[in-house]
Structure 1
Amino acid sequence: MNFAREVVDSAPRERPALVALDGEGNRREIPFGEVADRSARLASTLARHGAGRGEVVMTVIGNTPEWVDAMVACFRIGAVALPCNEQLRPKDLASRIERVAPRVVLAAEHLIDAVAESGFDGPVMVAGDERLYDAPEAPAVDLAATDPALITFTSGTAGEPKPIRHGQRYLHGQRVQAEHWFGAHAGELCWCTAASGWSKSARNAFIAPWLRGAAALLHDARFDPEERLAVIERECVAVLCMSPTEYRTVVKRAGLQPLPSLRHAVAAGEPLNPEVVFAWRDATGLEVHDGYGQTET
């Protein structure tokens, strides 16, 4: 099995994969063909720097296409992706580095200093550097269901964050929740707002939409409740996945209104209080489907 081959490479090259927005108002539409090509070239560069099968690649990148490229590149060659939240401090990065020993770190340019301060002494690459893509396309390798694919860290609410390793079957196993909870339909645009580095982001930022034939929205900007609603309306988002805190903030600080394109809404994290569920339903006509899960599963 190989997620990159079976989901990315096999999709029609012109089918929309990502809609990427940044904090400066820039917008990019990226088809599957571009994701396939760029991730394959990046995979060759990672392998050349020692990130082969079973080796860990740490990413310290926001919700950008370059993060998706890195994740898919790892899936392609059997490297183990370790996405980290860009808000982590150097000591937090150092703790993760000590526990999982990444072979390579791929970081956003503004986070390179934080990686250096963490004490990491291996190869560090700047996400988005076009020289990383100046390489031949790496083929997708055959992987076993139990081969490692992904490491995510727990939140640390019940003690020190701990690493959780998931196998290749974890990626394909997301089909169940992608259909029955996340609820994406083919041809739709879906938005999971979780920052890269969280378990929910690893599952739903792009994996769940793609498994259902949908496209994923990436928004690399600070959370603003009014802008959140504006983006949903402007981009015709059909499926929305937010944290309970974000739902509460939108209800409290933004003028909730009908959102014609939005068909389905889900939440995950801490429990979502009924008052927010009722307020969202009264304004939009949609029930928020509150999910429960663990990083470990």
Structure 2
Amino acid sequence: MGRYKDTYESWKRDPEGFWAEAAKEIDWFKPATKTLEVKDGLSRWFVGAETNSCWNALDRHVKAGRGAQAALIHDSAMLGRVRTFTYAELLDEVATFAGVLQRHGVSKGDRVLIYMPMVPEAAIAMLACARLGAIHSVVFGGFAAKELATRIDDAKPKLIVSASCGLEPGRVVAYKPLMDKAIEMSAHKVSGTIVLQREMEEAPLLEGRDFDWAYEVEKARAAGAKPDCVAVAATDPLYVLYTSGTTGKPKGVVRDNGGHMVALKWSMKHVYDMNPGEVFWAASDVGWVVGHSYIVYAPLFHGCTTILFEGKPVGTPDAGTFWRVIADHGVKALFTAPTAFRAIRKEDPKAELISKYDLSKFEVLYLAGERADPDTIQWAEKALSGRPVIDHWWQTETGWPMVSNPMGIERLPVKYGSPSVPLPGYEIHVVDEACKPVPANTTGAIVVKLPLPPGCLPTLWENEQGFRESYLAEFPGYYKTADAGYLDEDGYLYVMSRTDDIINVAGHRLSTGGMEEVLAEHPDVAECAVIGIADAMKGQVPVGFLVINAGVTRPAAEIEAEAVQLIRDRIGPVAAFKKAMVVKRLPKTRSGKVLRGTMRKIADGVEWTTPATIDDPAILDEIKAVLRDAGLAKA
């Protein structure tokens, strides 16, 4: 740990100096008067500075002569189409759409809600808001009307930018009726909407309220309406991104302009080992934080080419889609969720499709978003002929990685099951309920010592009290991650589960993530989930759900028995693991997180609602039927 250790220690010695040096990579209209200001436990970075995120993503690269380089490649596997924008072309589109927004009354500080599929116009709308100093709030396209309405009422946007429809394999999802219903349900009334009409399904527009994207752009272009970048304070919000709250009310994570740019620009080189001009692909959605940070903003801040992909890892058309995109566009690094690779592995267990494609420019795979079990990582390493597969860990709230193998600083030894080591900016501790550090290799709550570094949320949107209660109150002096795990003797972190996925079996605190790691080693298991369900004798007992690889013909009962034996052999009878069930699929969010909490509620017979983020609600009925057939459902 030579270079990494030196870099990390230099940050610890002088955090403000470290980030002030990193800030030199950003164009500032006015320099900061203070690098860090902490008031009542809240941090504000680069106080007094003025800048603009759109300028740093586009204008400065064009000014520096990078205008002819590809900035954004839209690859739609759904439609079999590719569209490439150079930096100069993307700047022209963004400036023109900023003119559209301006003509509709949007100015600095106004909110604009973006409800879009994976089309280039989604990124264009985000950057156009940034250009004007407006605050965008992207809501995942196709979100239910009720969820959209709660976000409208919380953010109080002036405008909604949407599309007529989105695409899922085998079907078209109409967005306009969902948006209309949400507008009807919300107490806050928007002044208008701008709708991108897609030819798969055009939407009827309400006169006086709904405006056609293409027509509005044409008018702005004819009028020469291309506003310059508006100077904003580094501490002004760039966007609000909603994440699920435990109360059911969504939490609006605020991202500032200055700290966000500094952290993301730094991460592209030091975490992801990317250089300007190289091709980076984050296979996520703009509705999630990964899409914000690593599809739209970070690659453009760094002068890379970014890919915006409309498709799925399997089924558009097959499990070779990711390899095709990498080959077609010369991708150097791919960042996706482990669940995507589990899906690919399930359909193509021997990775035979990879041989059809030229991956000569591809160097490294990054995984995050859901725990990456060692078996999935090792399968991916083998499929990719030994290329590094790097698990790393972060959250919507942090906006960029907390823990990673820092490939651009020093490639550290991989320890399977660990996302590696804390990055500069993050001092990670593992503590007990009394906030006392626990020994190495002991599971506890993962917390981050305050102040948080640049790029992390400074607060929640118009809810400072909620911010303090959610993140700062339980462990004074620390940010609560709500994840559980342990640090080993070398300082590597192991994130085992959410804190509410630590189950108490007859007084023994056990991690469901640890059990999943064992089950994933079974050669027939493509993916798995373990939940703790209520038990009168032991408090809780674990139950496993197994999805089997394609082509496996053995009886499910055999595989289930072997899974139970695996846990007994590796973790011991203390786990009280007596039941594993083969299921067709696991319920997940659209970003690939398994909905363990909902599964647990179904099993325990407590009241539950279908999560707004679920990919396919029908899977919950399948889980309910499996639990009922096994005699485990309480209701």
Same fold (TM over 0.5): yes
Q: Is the 8 A contact 1:19 1:30 kept in 2?
A: yes
Structure 1 residue 183 displacement after superposition: 3.0
Give 1:275 shift. Answer: 0.4
- SS of residue paired to 1:119: helix
**DSSP-derived class of the 2:71 partner:** strand
Indicate conservation of the 8 Å contact 1:206/1:215, yes or no.
Answer: no
1:41–1:132: 8 Å Cα contact kept in structure 2? no
Q: Map 1:270-289 onto structure 2 (within 5 A).
A: 270-284=370-384, 285-289=386-390
Greater helix content:
1
Residue 281 of structure 1: CA displacement? 1.0
Deviation at 1:177?
A: 2.0
1:48-127 to 2 correspondences below 5 Å: 48-110=103-165, 111-119=175-183, 121-122=189-190, 123-127=192-196
- Note the C-alpha offset of 1:244: 1.5
Say which is worse superposed, 118-127 or 137-146, in terms of deviation: 118-127
Contact 2:56–2:301 (8 Å) recurs in 1: no
Q: State the identity %.
A: 26
Alignment of 1:213-224 (within 5 A): 213-224=303-314
- Counterpart in the other structure of 1:6: 56
Task: Check whether the contact 1:241–1:266 (CA below 8 A) recurs between aligned residues.
Answer: yes
1:34/1:229 Cα in 2 relative to 1: closer, same or farther (>3 Å)?
Answer: same
Structure 2 alignment gaps of length 5 or more: 1-50, 166-174, 198-212, 399-635
Letter in 1 for 2:194: M
Shift of 1:40: 0.9
Are 2:261 and 1:207 aligned? no
State whether structure 2 residue 350 is matched by structure 1 residue 296: no
| DSSP-derived class of the 1:230 partner | helix
Q: Is the 8 A contact 2:161 2:195 kept in 1?
A: yes
The offset of 1:188, in angstroms, is 1.6
- What is aligned with 1:166? 255
1:160 & 1:237 partners in 2: Cα distance? 39
Shift of the alpha carbon at 1:252? 2.5
Separation in 1, partners of 2:127, 2:269: 21
User: How big is the shift at 1:158?
Assistant: 8.4
| Shift in CA distance, 4/201, structure 1 to aligned 2, threshold 3 Å | same
1:6 aligned partner, one-letter code: N
Q: CA deviation at 1:184?
A: 2.2
- The 1:155/1:273 distance shift into structure 2, 3 A limit, reads farther
Distance 1:244 1:188, change over 3 A: same
The 2-side partners of 1:155 and 1:238 are apart by: 33
| Aligned-pair CA distance for 1:227 | 1.5
Pairwise CA RMSD of aligned residues?
1.8
Equivalent residues of 2:75, 2:82 under 8 A apart: yes
SS of aligned partner of 2:114: strand
Q: Secondary structure at the match of 1:182?
A: coil
- Which residue in 1 is equivalent to 2:335? 241
| Secondary structure of residue in 1 paired with 2:117 | coil
Matched, 1:153 2:225: no
**Structure 1: unaligned runs, 5 residues or longer:** none
Q: What is the CA–CA distance in structure 2 between the aligned matches of 1:234 and 1:139, rounded to whole Å? A: 35
* Equivalent residue pairs, number: 297
SS of aligned partner of 1:10: helix
